[in-house]
Chain A
Amino acid sequence: MSDLAAPRVTGRTHGLWVAQGAAILILAVLGGVVIGETPLPLATVAAVFANNIWDAGLIVDPIDAGIIWSYRLPRTLLAAACGAGLALSGVVLQALVRNALADPYLLGVSAGAGAGAVAVTILGVGGGLLGISGGAFVGATLAFAVVAMLARAAGGGSAQLVLAGIAGSQLFNALTSFLIAKSANAEQARGIMFWLLGNLSGVRWLDVVLAAPVTAVGFLICLWFARAMDAFSFGVSSAASLGIAVRRVQIMLIGAVTLMTATMVSLVGSIGFVGLVIPHAMRFVVGPRHARLVPASALAGAVFLIVADIASRMLIPGQVVPIGVVTALVGAPGFALILVRNRRWS
C-alpha cells in the first residue's frame, strides 16, 4: 500500500492525464467506426461525419452512410459505455468486499438477467411488452434484491454478500436451466444462448441513449466516493473510524453497480472478463488509489471493449464471434503479460 503515499497529482499533470485519456478514447471510437466486417474507405467515414455533424451535404452512398452512422457509431459508443460501466463495477465490488475475485456479476445480476430473458422468451411473461432486454433488466434487479436481502439476513458483512451472491447466482442459473429443460426445444435455447454470450450487433442509438447516462452517473458516483473506497480497502471498521458513513456509502455504491451491470447485461448480454480483470490491470499501472483507479479503469474498460468488439468482427471473416469469447481470448493473455511484468518490477 506504499502507493497511498504517492505524490499528489498537480493541476497541470491532472489536465494532461484527462487530455491523454480523451485522445485515446476518441482514437478507439474512430477505430471502431472505421474497421468493420465490410471495408469502407476513410474518406467515406469522414464524409458521413461531416454530413451528420456540420450538415456538409457531401454525396455518400446512403447504405454506407447508414452503416457508419446508424450501426457502427452507436455500437462503438455502447461498447465504450458498457466496458467503462463493467470495469467501474469491478473496481467498486473489489474494494467493498475486499476480494480479488469479485466481478460485476458477483451479485447475481447476470444470472438474474438470464432467467428474466428466458422467462420472457419461453414463458411469454410480460405478454410481448417486455422484450428480451426488458425481461433481463427486471430479472437482474430481482436477483440483486434477493441477494441483498439474503446478505442482510445473514449479517450483512462482505463475506456474507459474496456467499449470498453465489447462492443467488446458482438459484437463478438453475431456474434458467429448468425453464429451458421444461418448455423449450433446442432451437429456442440456442437463440437465448446466442444472446447470453453477449452481442453488440443489434445496437442502435436508443441503446446508447439508455446506457451512456447510466455509465456517466455511475462514474461520477464512483469518483465522488473514491476516497471512501480507499478507506474500505482497509476494512469496514477502519473506514468507519475514518469518519465515513459506511452504510450510506455502501448503498450508494452498490446501487450504482447494480444499475450499471443490470443495464449493460440487459442491453448486450453478459460480457465477462472486463469487470474482473481491468481493475487489477489498472492497479498495476496507476496504483491502488481510487482517485486514479476509477478514471483509469473506466477508460481502459471502454477502450478494451471497443477493441474486443473490433476483433469480434474481424476474427472470422463474414461471421461475428460472440464478444464474450473475444474479451477472454484477447484479455487473458494481456492480463498474463501484466502479471508477469509486474513481478519483474517489484
Chain B
Amino acid sequence: MYNNTLTAALLGAVCFAPMAQAQTAYPLTIENCGVDVTFDAAPETAVTVGQAGTELMYALGLGDRVAGTSVWFTEVLPEFTELNAGIERLADNDPSFESVVEKRPDVVVVQYEWHIGPQGIVATRDQFADLGIPTFVLPADCWAKDNSTGSDGTRLAMFEMDSIYAGVTQLAQIFDVSEKGAALVADLKAREAAAIEKAAALDLDDASAVFWFSSAEMDIDPYVAGRKGPPGYMMEKLGLRNVVESDEEWPVVSWESIARANPSVIVVAEMDRRRFEADDVEKKLEFLRSDPVTSQMDAVRNDRIVILNAHSMDPSIRNVTALETLAEALPEFDLQ
C-alpha cells in the first residue's frame, strides 16, 4: 500500500514537472540585482566571470555555450575537468573588459558584483549594456547584501541556499533549460536536507566553530567567516555557534578574541591560491599547533579541525558539498 502511494506520487511528479517548467517565453525580462535584463532569445554564447558561474553553467549542461572563463579560485570540479580543458580561459584572475567583449557573448555570467557591478573592476553593467551585452549576476551576491561596505560586502540578512537555487533556476530559464535547472535544484536540496539531518542526530547543544580563510601575514589577525555568509549558514544549520559576531563577509578578527572564545571546531580553508603564506593549509595547521596561544585551544588540542575547500565557503553550488563534508566530520569529534 505504502509502495503504491509512493509510486503514484513519483509518477505524478514526473508527469507534472515538465508542465510546471514550461519553455521559456522570449523576450524574457529578469530583475537581477537591481537591474532589469532582457533576453530576446536563449543565449548562444556566454562568458563567465567567476568560477561559481562557470561551474553552474557546466552543471546545467551548458558547457558548449561557454566561450570563455575567468576568475579561477581553485581547480574546476573533478567531473568537469575534461569539459573545462576544451574551453578558453580568458584570465586566471580578472579579465579585462575588452577580452570579455571580444568574445561577443550573448550574456556575461558574473559571480561577484565587485568584478561587474556598480563599482566593478572589470566594468560596470552599464558598460556592457551599452554594447548590447546583457549581464547576469548570480543573485547570491546581492540578495540581502550590501556590497558598498565591508571589504567583501556586508550581509543584511543571513545567507540562504535559496539564493543559490534562485540563481540556478533563473540561469536555466535564461538558457531555456528549466527542466535541468529544476532537477539540479531538487538534487541539491535533497543533499542539503540529508546533511542537516545527519548533524541534527548529534543533538549538539553547546558546540561552536570558527572558519579561518587566510591571513595577510602568518601571525597577523586572520580573515574569518562572519555571521551571515555561507559559513554562518552552515554553522547554524549544523547546530554550531559561530564565535565571530560580525556581519561582514570575511572580517578580520584577532587571535586573542578567537582563542578566548575557544570554539569546539576550527574549519580551515584549503586553496590553490598562494598570495599569502597563510593560504597554504599546511601552514595554517602548523601555525595552529605551534603558536603559544592557538595551540592551547580545545579544538587544536583535541584535533577537531576540518579542512574545507575555500571556494565552497563562498556562495555557490559547492556549499552543499561543504555542508556534507562538515556533517561527515562532526560525528567523529565527540561534541556536546
**A37 and B257 contacting across the interface, CB-CB below 8 Å:** yes
Given A66-B293, A195-B217, A199-B221: 6 more A-B contacts, CB < 8 Å: A37-B257, A66-B296, A70-B292, A131-B277, A201-B255, A202-B219
In angstroms, Cα B55 to Cα A187, docked, is 22
| Separation of A187 and B121 alpha carbons in the complex (Å) | 11
Q: For the complex, is B220 an interface residue (Cβ under 8 Å from A)?
A: yes
Q: Is the interface of A mostly helix, strand, loop or mixed?
A: helix
* From A131, A201, A319, contact of B251 by CB (8 A): A319
Residues of A within 8 A of B217 (CB): 131-133, 195, 202
User: Would you mind naming 10 contact pairs between A and B with Cβ atoms under 8 Å apart?
Assistant: A36-B256, A37-B256, A62-B296, A63-B293, A67-B293, A71-B256, A132-B217, A185-B121, A195-B220, A204-B219
In A219-245, the 8 Å CB interface with B consists of none
Q: Chain A CB within 10 Å — which of B245, B251, B254 has the most? A: B254
CA distance A3 to B246 in the complex (A): 54
Most chain A CB within 10 A, of B94, B216, B296, is at: B216
Q: Does A318 contact B (CB under 8 A)?
A: yes
* Interface pair A318/B216, CB less than 8 Å apart: no
**Is A53 an interface residue, CB under 8 A from the partner?**
no
A320 beta carbon closer than 8 Å to chain B = yes
Cβ-defined contact, B259 with A37, below 8 A: no
B297 within 8 A of partner (CB) = yes
Q: Which residues of B contact A132 (CB under 8 A)?
A: 216-217
Closest to A204 in B: B219
B55 to chain A, nearest CB (A): 19
- Residue B148 lies at the interface, judged by CB distance under 8 Å to chain A: no
B114 interface contact, C-beta 8 A: yes
Instruction: Report chain A residues within 8 Å CB of B276.
Output: 121, 191
Residues of B contacting A128 with CB < 8 Å? Answer: 277
How far does the Cβ of A79 sit from chain B's closest Cβ, in whole Å? 15
Q: Determine whether the beta carbon of B252 is less than 8 Å from that of A190.
A: no
Question: Chain A contact residues (Cβ within 8 angstroms of B): what range?
Answer: 35 or more
B256 touches A67 (CB 8 A): yes
Give A297 to B62 CA distance when docked, in angstroms: 68
Given contacts A63-B260, A194-B216, are A69 and B292 in contact (CB under 8 A)? yes
Is B51's beta carbon under 8 Å from chain A?
no
Query: Per-residue CB proximity of B269-280 to A under 8 Å, as 1/0?
Result: 000000111000
- How far apart are the CA atoms of A69 and B292 in the complex, in Å? 9
Binary B-proximity of A111-141 (CB < 8 A = 1, otherwise 0): 0000000000100000010011100000000
Query: Please, how many angstroms separate the alpha-carbon atoms of A37 and B258 in the complex?
Result: 11
In the complex, chain B residues whose CB is within 8 Å of the CB of A170: none
* Contact residues in B for A194 (Cβ distance below 8 Å): 216, 252
Distance in angstroms from B210 CB to nearest chain A CB is: 13
Provide the A50-89 mask, 1 if CB < 8 A to any CB of B, else 0. Answer: 0000000000001110110111100000000000000000
Q: A70-B293, A185-B121, A188-B275 in contact; A63/B220 too (CB < 8 A)?
A: no
The reply on B218 being an interface residue by CB < 8 A is yes
Contact between B256 and A38 (Cβ–Cβ < 8 Å)?
Answer: yes
| Cα A320 to Cα B256 with chains together (Å) | 11
Cβ of B262 < 8 Å from any Cβ of A? yes
Q: A185-B121, A202-B218 are in contact. Are A71 and B253 (CB under 8 A)?
A: no
In the complex, A188→B255 CA distance in Å? 22
What is the distance, in angstroms, from A296's C-beta to the closest C-beta of chain B?
32
Contact, CB under 8 Å: A191 / B275 = yes
Give chain B interface residues in 240-298, CB to chain A under 8 Å.
245-246, 251-257, 259-260, 262, 275-277, 291-293, 296-297
| Contact present for A38 and B257 (CB under 8 Å) | yes
Q: Does A153 have its Cβ within 8 Å of any Cβ on chain B?
A: no
Which of A202, A203, A313 is packed against the most chain B CB atoms within 10 Å?
Answer: A202
Q: Which of B93, B253, B255 contacts A318 (CB 8 A)?
A: B253
A38-B257, A67-B260 known; A319-B252 Cβ under 8 A: yes
6 tightest Cβ-Cβ pairs between the two chains A and B: A202-B220, A66-B293, A202-B219, A70-B292, A62-B296, A201-B221
- The reply on A186 being an interface residue by CB < 8 A is yes
Quick check: is B127 within 8 A (CB to CB) of the other chain? Answer: no
Q: List B contacts of A121 (CB < 8 A).
A: 275-276
Q: Are A320 and B94 in contact (CB under 8 A)?
A: no
Compute how far the CA of A320 lies from the CA of B275 in the bound complex, rounded to whole angstroms.
Answer: 23
Q: Is the CB of A66 within 8 A of B257?
A: no
Contacts of A195 in B (CB 8 A): 216-217, 220
Considering only residues 298-326 of chain A, those with a C-beta below 8 Å from chain B are 313, 318-320
Shortest distance between the CB of A168 and any CB in chain B (Å): 26
Within 8 A of B (CB), among A28-44: 36-38
Residues B277 and A71 in contact, CB atoms below 8 Å apart: no
Is B151 engaged at the interface, CB distance under 8 Å to the other chain? yes
Q: How far is the CB of A251 from chain B (nearest CB, A)?
A: 33
Q: Shortest beta-carbon distance, B282 to chain A, in Å?
A: 13
The one of A67, A185, A190 in contact with B259, judged by C-beta atoms closer than 8 angstroms, is A67
Cα distance A71–B295 in the bound complex, in angstroms: 13
